[in-house]
Amino acid sequence: MATQLPESFTQRMQAQLGDEFEAFQQSLSEAAVSSIRVNSAKAQKPANGIPVPWCQTGFYLEERPFYTLDPFLHAGVYYVQEASSMFSEQAFRQLPDEPLKVLDLCGAPGGKSTHIASLLPENSLLVSNEVIRSRAVILSENLKKWGNPNVMVTNNDPKDFATFEGQFDVLVVDAPCSGEGLFRRDENAIAEWSPENTQLCAQRQQRILADVWPALKPGGILIYSTCTYNPGENEENLKWLNEFANVENISLPMKAEWGVTETEAGGLSGYRFYPHKTKGEGFFMAVVRKLDGQTTRMPRKMKSAAFSPASRAEKALVEGWLTGDNLDIFKLNDTLFAFPSKYAAELTWLQKGLRIVHAGVKIGEQKKKEVVPAHELALSPILKRGTFPEIELTLDDAIKFLHRDEIRPEAKERGWHLLTYRNIPLGWAKNLGNRFNSNYPKEWRIRMDITEYLAEKLEEEKAKFPIR
């Protein structure tokens, strides 16, 4: 790595690692590995992927593809995620196979949230939050691409969740940190690092945990993680947590060949990932159980929500569009969306105190006597295939569609068509007879110039795509 590491960081890591420091330092000069996690609702495994041992749907790639040119990335078939952070799966594997309410407090850009959405037992609810508005929009986009209807995205400060005392079975806090674990892939993390910043991060992490702690129910599980090495943001925070709250340790099963380093602080276990010992970047995680606290009952009577159940006539407009018996259809202004009927009361309650970016899966916009299908419906497994005529696109046309360029596929019928690439839905286009109108969101489109790739390079890049 060309960039010089801060001297105070080097000195601390020498003391922290002892004889292992030289191997650690050498690992930072090596190329970062590429890894993805597959959406099991849409695909199974990459063509040449090497399994990530602690994640059943995680795979290392032999080389980094040009992800932007792969339609499957835009369709939510896989998510590009750093392998070490997939370790949170091991915590969820210890949970009972029953419906859970999970709060992912620091959810953007969406790696852990999309992972959690795939891991949750049936009839569970995921509330994924991000305090920064622009990042909450990105989080929402990635979860829409993943396609699960039992998900809400919120844009709130951690303290806003204290009102909903004891409402969550699992609390995931992937805390904002000093980012030392990203040094070999992000030189900005090095430039922004300082001992003072690590102290500020530790204080902020404690504030975040203290503010949101009431929302976790007695007996609930906290999964705490960072992407940094320093003990102040990791083990020292475990000691603080053990003094701040009544908690007990949860140990995770581990295999020696994984190379994970187990640590202990205040009677609580932590799990460290170092790049010279594991195939991935720096990461820390701990899992504890909350032993006391209060639970606020959901009000039996609540003022009317901003949304309402769709009428029989409105439901008739989208009859046959959806699969699944546990979903209900709601209306917000002219928008119809599908959300688990089991959690309709929670949605009503939560929207009173939280800024909801999106909930469930948007079905479409009602315009007069028809509903224009929403893009996110095309990407969701709840769409009943066969309801709309489908058009299979070539790779060239798929990239043009994702770029919002004009395409002219063959179609006999007029109206809305589901466009697919290798049988995976990409979105909607309306056949008007003389042309097709794309319904692909402008804010999601590929922005780079694709001309040279369409001319000669696309097939070359296709050979590197992870799922072929």
CATH number for the domain spanning 356: value is 3.10.450.720
Confidence class for position 304, pLDDT limits 50, 70, 90 = low
Q: Is residue 306 domain-shared with residue 256, that is, in the same domain?
A: no
Q: Is residue 260 domain-shared with residue 322, that is, in the same domain?
A: no
Q: Is residue 187 domain-shared with residue 315, that is, in the same domain?
A: no
HSE value, Cβ hemisphere, 13 Å, CA-based, for 50? 10
19 is in an annotated binding site: no
Q: Is residue 137 domain-shared with residue 228, that is, in the same domain?
A: yes
Q: Is residue 179 domain-shared with residue 280, that is, in the same domain?
A: yes
Q: Is residue 326 domain-shared with residue 350, that is, in the same domain?
A: yes
Q: What is the pLDDT of residues 147-204, one digit of tens each?
A: 999 999 999 999 999 999 999 999 999 999 999 999 999 999 999 999 999 999 999 9
Q: What is the DSSP string of 174-211?
A: E-----GGGTTT-HHHHHT--HHHHHHHHHHHHHHHHH
Position 78 in a domain: no
Whether 55 sits among the annotated catalytic residues: the reply is no
Q: Is residue 171 domain-shared with residue 312, that is, in the same domain?
A: no
Can you give the pTM of this predicted structure? 0.96
Cα-based distances in Å from 30 to 2, 63, 184, 271: 11, 14, 8, 23
382-386: average pLDDT: 97
Q: Is residue 172 domain-shared with residue 271, that is, in the same domain?
A: yes
User: Is pLDDT of 1 > 50?
Assistant: no
Asked whether the beta carbons of 369 and 355 are under 8 A apart, the reply is no
- pLDDT, residue 3, reads 60
Q: Is residue 250 domain-shared with residue 310, that is, in the same domain?
A: no
Per-chain mean pLDDT for the chain: 95
Domain boundary among 371, 393, 421: 371
Instruction: Indicate the helix (H) or strand (E) that contains 348.
Output: helix 344-353
160 is in an annotated binding site: no
**Total domain count for the chain?**
2
Q: Is residue 116 domain-shared with residue 241, that is, in the same domain?
A: yes
460 is in an annotated binding site: no
Confidence class for position 2, pLDDT limits 50, 70, 90 = very low
The residue with greater pLDDT, 408 or 86, is 86
Asked whether the beta carbons of 132 and 377 are under 8 A apart, the reply is no
The residue annotated as part of the active site, out of 106, 177, 201, 227, is 227
Q: What is the pLDDT of residues 25-71, one digit of tens each?
A: 999 999 999 999 999 999 988 888 999 999 999 999 999 999 999 99
Position 389 in a domain: no
Q: Is residue 96 domain-shared with residue 232, that is, in the same domain?
A: yes
